[in-house]
Amino acid sequence: MLENKHHKLIWLWIGVMLGLSCAQVQAQSHDRIPTLRKFNSTRYTVHTDMNIRHVQPFAKHMDKVFNEYKRRFEKLNLKSRNTSEQMNLYLFETQKGYEIFLASKGIPAQNTGGMFVVNPRVNGLFTYIKDRPVRQTLSTLQHEGFHQFAFSHIGPTLPIWINEGIAQFFEDGVLVGNRFHLDIANAKRLIQIKDAIAKNRTIPFANLIAMTDKQWSENVQNTPAMAALQYDQSWSMVYFLINSNDKLLNAFNQYLIAVGKGVDSEVAFVNSFSLKSNSFAQLTADFEKAWARFTEDLQPNTISQVTDNMNFLAHGLMWIRKANRPAPKSIQELRSILQRVNYRISRTVHGVETHFNAEDESLYRYELPNGSIAFLNLMPTNNDAIPPTISASGLKPAPHLVWYKMDGDLMYDVTYK
C-alpha cells in the first residue's frame, strides 16, 4: 500500500473492487502487453491499441462529459492540480488487453469493467470497448471519469459516499447532441431504495456520511446486499441534493468545497447545511426525513427502464443470430421466440445480481408521457448480417437500439434522439 494518502485512496478503491492477490496479477506476466499509440482530444491524452478512427467517437464523447463535469461544478472555482489540463484516457480493444496492460503495472483488473488509477507507474482512466455493449462502455467512462475529474479538480479527499453517489449520477446521463440529460432517475436503483425505505432498512445518514473508504470497501468485499444499498442510497442522496431545491444545491456545493479542501465530512456537513447550531445527529436525522419524502414521491424514469430492456433484447437478438434462426419481424415475434426458449440473462454490479427473464411482459412495452402504454417498435434491416433495430417513439429523448460493425465484429448501442 502506498504511503502517499492521495495514492492510497485510489488503491483502496481498486483493491475493493477486485479482492485479487498479487499472485493472480503476476500470473499474466507471460501475456503480450498491448502496444499503445496516443493522440490528443480536446480534454484527454488518449492511449489505445485500436485503430484511432474507432476510438475517436469515445474520446469526443468524453470531451463533452468533461465539459459537463466542469459546468456542473463551476461554482466550486475549480482549478486543476495537474500541470496539464489533459488527463489520460486508456481505451483498449478487448477486456483481455485491458487486464494484461494493467497487470503489467501491478494492478489486478479481472472482473472489472473500468477504473481510475493513480500510482507511480501509471495514472489515468481505463476501460475497453469490445466484448460488451457500447452503452456499457460509455456509462463506465462517465462513472470512472468523474472519479478522475474529482481527484484532479475538486480534491483527493472526497468522502466515499459523495464520490460514488456523484459518479453514479453521471453514469446514468445520456448525451443527445451536445446536451447531457442528467435528470434521469434510474429505475432499478429507485425501486430498490424505495423498498429499503418502506422496510426501514436504509443506512442511517450519520453513518453513511461518516463512512470511511475502508468500511465501504469491507462491505463491498463481504456483504453484497449492504454494498448495493450503500451505492443506491448514495446515488439517491446526491439526486435529492441536486434536484430538490436551489438552497440545498448551494449548500451541497459548499460541502463539496469544504471536503475537497480536506475538512472533516461531519464538520463540513454541519457548516454547509445547518441554518442554526444543530448537532450533526439532529441535522442528519432531519435531512433523512426530507430525503425519504422526496424519494418516496420520485417516479422512475421511463428512459432508463427502456434502455435496460433494449440491452436485454439486444442479447436475445444476438442469440437468435448465433443460433442461425430467422430474424423476427416484430416485437411480438421476438417476444414469442425468447419466451419459447425461456431466455434469461443476469448481470452483476457491486456483487449483486440483477436478473432479466423473457417472461416479463414489461420488457417489450413502455409508458408514454400521457400515461398510455406502447409496444417497442422492431424494424427489420435490409442487411441479413445486421439484426433488427428497436425504437421507443414518443419519449424525449427517444432511445434507439442500433447495430454496426467494428473491424468485422457486430456491436450494438442504445442511442438517443
Tell me the residue range of the domain where 145 lies.
Answer: 37-156
Same domain, 41 and 148: yes
- More confidently predicted of 166 and 157: 166
Q: How many domains does the chain have?
A: 3
Same domain, 279 and 323: no
| Euclidean distance between CA atoms 89 and 124, whole angstroms | 6
Same domain, 273 and 317: no
| Euclidean distance between CA atoms 412 and 82, whole angstroms | 36
pTM of the predicted protein model: 0.87
Final residue before a domain boundary, out of 267, 297, 327 = 297
pLDDT at position 215 over 80: yes
- The 3-state DSSP class for residue 409 equals strand
Same domain, 377 and 313: yes
Same domain, 288 and 307: no
Q: What is the pLDDT of residue 21?
A: 37
Q: Mean pLDDT, to the nearest integer, of 332-350?
A: 90
In a domain, 218, yes or no: yes
Q: Mean pLDDT, to the nearest integer, of 39-48?
A: 97
Same domain, 267 and 364: no
In a domain, 182, yes or no: no
Q: What CATH number did the domain enclosing 129 receive?
A: 3.40.30.160
Same domain, 335 and 405: yes
In a domain, 2, yes or no: no
Lowest mean pLDDT among 10-19, 51-60, 236-245, 290-299: 10-19
Q: What is the pLDDT of residue 82?
A: 60
197-214 pLDDT per residue, tens:
999 999 999 999 999 999
358-392 pLDDT per residue, tens:
999 999 999 999 999 999 999 998 888 899 999 99
In a domain, 63, yes or no: yes
310-328 pLDDT per residue, tens:
999 999 999 999 999 999 9
Final residue before a domain boundary, out of 280, 297, 314 = 297
pLDDT at position 25 over 60: no
Same domain, 191 and 255: yes
Final residue before a domain boundary, out of 134, 156, 178 = 156
87-116 pLDDT per residue, tens:
999 999 999 999 999 999 999 998 889 999
Q: What percent of the chain has pLDDT over 70?
A: 89
**Phi, psi dihedral angles at 238 (to 5 degrees):** -65, -45
